[in-house]
């Protein structure tokens, strides 16, 4: 039972009253269903399912793991309000056998050895690079391949030569002035590169004849974006003032695309559009709420005709399925913990607790 919509004194008093009813014999689940402000658990009579250590905020977690089986806690205050917790069941986590994780452990130990050997080799090459004037000699000494970038601008090239860390190293003052071999630069988790500048051409101003086409296209694009934003704002304002999509299309000569019902995680072509759509207030019946969004291709108008609250449509079976999925995720975390235990040869037993919460 969770109470978080009242002032602190009122919430605490309500929690204490509910606790008194529980002690007098009232059914915990019925009270949770009728009184809890946590709608997700209230529909299940306050049942939160199983949870391992650290799933809840510290105050709740501490109170939960201090309870005996079927014991009910005193009101517990957290940042979310007051809670009454009942411990329903304690289940020992399924700890896998050593044989079942032996292959995983072997692979991890092998990878750790490879990572250590790779790190030692990189350190050795870096030490030699610091005193070397020739990338060719360094490559021969360690049987490394050499790639030539050709003339490369600060915007980079293709492949490894587009890596931002590599470009930062290539154009730092030391590389340009001294032409020394650089320290290693990681271009991927398994790839390290050392670079040496062989030629450097200083930046020089473009002539007007060369720069004019670029300047013209840049100004044209900037002007087009300003006009597009102005028109999009006018369309959004018209929709917000009560015009229909058909009226706005006819007035401004634009075409809208209906996306149907969409969720937060799917349905719209970009996160920017989803964020804009779900930031709008639900419109009144027959009206639209609209806004504009700058996207890489220009400006998009996002209009919402209605908001569907389908939380009540979630069936008990779906909630159970979600709880099962969460339990599986927690189980994987516990497996990872067990792998660490095996590595460190520590004896560990894990338990999870099933609780009902109130207030």
**CATH entry 3.40.50.300 includes domain 2-95:** no
User: Please, which residues bridge with residue 78 across strands?
Assistant: 81
| Cβ neighbours of 182 (radius 10 Å) | 20
Here the tokens at position 279 are 């930031």
Query: Does the model's pTM come out above 0.75?
Result: no
DSSP 224-292: HHHHHHHHHHHHHHHHHTT--HHHHHHHHT-------S--SSSSSSSHHHHHHHTTSPPPPTT--EEEE
Query: Assign residue 214 a region: left if phi > 0, alpha if psi is -120 to 50, beta otherwise?
Result: alpha
Q: Where are the domains of the chain?
A: 2-95, 101-193
CA distance 356 to 200: 70
Residues 6+ away with beta carbon under 8 Å from 347: 341
Alpha-carbon distance of 339 to 170, in angstroms, equals 42
The reported pLDDT for the residue numbered 343 is 63
pLDDT tens profile 161-179: 889 999 999 888 888 888 8
Per the CB < 8 A criterion, the answer to whether 357 and 56 are in contact is no
Judged on CB neighbours under 10 Å (0-12, 13-18, 19+), 355 is: buried
Given a cut of 70, the residues of the chain with pLDDT beneath it are 1, 3-7, 93-95, 265, 310-314, 318, 338, 341-359
pLDDT of residue 348: 45
CA dihedral 225, 229, 235, 241 (to 10 degrees): 180
Contact 357, 41 (CB under 8 A): yes
**DSSP per residue, 1-52:** -EE-SS-HHHHHHHHHHHHHHHHTT--HHHHHHHH-S-HHHHTTTTEEEEE-
pLDDT score for 291: 95
CA distances from 187 to 114, 115, 146 (A): 18, 16, 15
Q: Is 354 helix (H, G, I), strand (E, B) or coil?
A: strand
Instruction: State the Cα angle at 90 between 89 and 92, rounded to 5°.
Output: 145
Structure tokens at 180: 């020394």
Give whole-number Cα distances, 291 to 26, 227, 248, 332, in Å: 51, 16, 14, 42
What is the three-state SS of 309-350?
CCHHHCCHHHHHHHHHHHHHHHHHHHHHHHHHHHHHCCCCCC
pLDDT of residue 175: 82
Using alpha carbons only, how large is the chain's radius of gyration in Å?
A: 32
Cα separation, 234 vs 95, in Å, equals 62
């Amino acid at each position: 039972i969770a109470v978080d919509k009242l002032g602190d004194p009122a919430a605490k008093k309500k929690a204490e009253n509910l606790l008194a009813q529980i002690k007098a014999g009232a059914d915990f689940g019925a009270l949770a269903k009728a009184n809890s402000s946590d709608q997700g658990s209230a529909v299940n009579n306050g049942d939160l399912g199983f949870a391992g250590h650290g799933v809840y905020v510290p105050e709740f977690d501490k109170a939960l793991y201090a309870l005996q089986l079927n014991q009910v806690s005193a009101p517990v205050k957290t940042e979310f309000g007051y809670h009454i917790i009942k411990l329903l069941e304690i289940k020992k986590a399924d700890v896998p056998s050593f044989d079942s994780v032996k292959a995983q452990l072997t692979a991890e130990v092998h990878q750790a050895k490879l990572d250590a050997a790779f790190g030692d080799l990189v350190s050795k090459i870096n030490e030699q690079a610091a005193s070397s004037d020739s990338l060719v000699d360094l490559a021969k000494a360690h049987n490394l391949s050499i790639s030539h970038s050709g003339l490369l601008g600060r915007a980079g090239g293709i492949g490894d030569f587009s890596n931002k860390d590599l470009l930062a190293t290539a154009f730092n003052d030391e590389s340009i002035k001294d032409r020394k071999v650089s320290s290693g630069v990681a271009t991927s988790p398994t790839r390290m590169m050392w670079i040496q500048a062989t030629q450097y051409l200083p930046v020089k101003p473009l002539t007007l004849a060369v720069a004019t086409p670029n300047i013209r296209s840049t100004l044209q694009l900037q002007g087009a974006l300003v006009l597009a934003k102005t028109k999009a704002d006018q369309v959004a304002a018209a929709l917000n003032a009560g015009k229909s999509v058909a009226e706005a299309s006819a007035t401004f000569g634009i075409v809208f695309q209906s996306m149907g019902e969409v969720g937060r995680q799917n349905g719209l072509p970009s996160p920017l559009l989803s964020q804009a759509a779900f930031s709008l207030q639900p419109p009144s019946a027959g009206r639209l709420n609209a806004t504009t969004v700058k996207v890489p291709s220009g400006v998009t108008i996002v209009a919402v005709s209605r908001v569907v609250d389908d939380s009540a449509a979630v069936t008990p079976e779906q909630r159970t399925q979600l709880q099962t999925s969460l339990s599986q995720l927690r189980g994987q975390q516990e497996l990872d913990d067990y792998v660490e235990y095996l590595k460190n040869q520590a004896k560990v037993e894990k338990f999870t607790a099933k609780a009902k919460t109130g207030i």
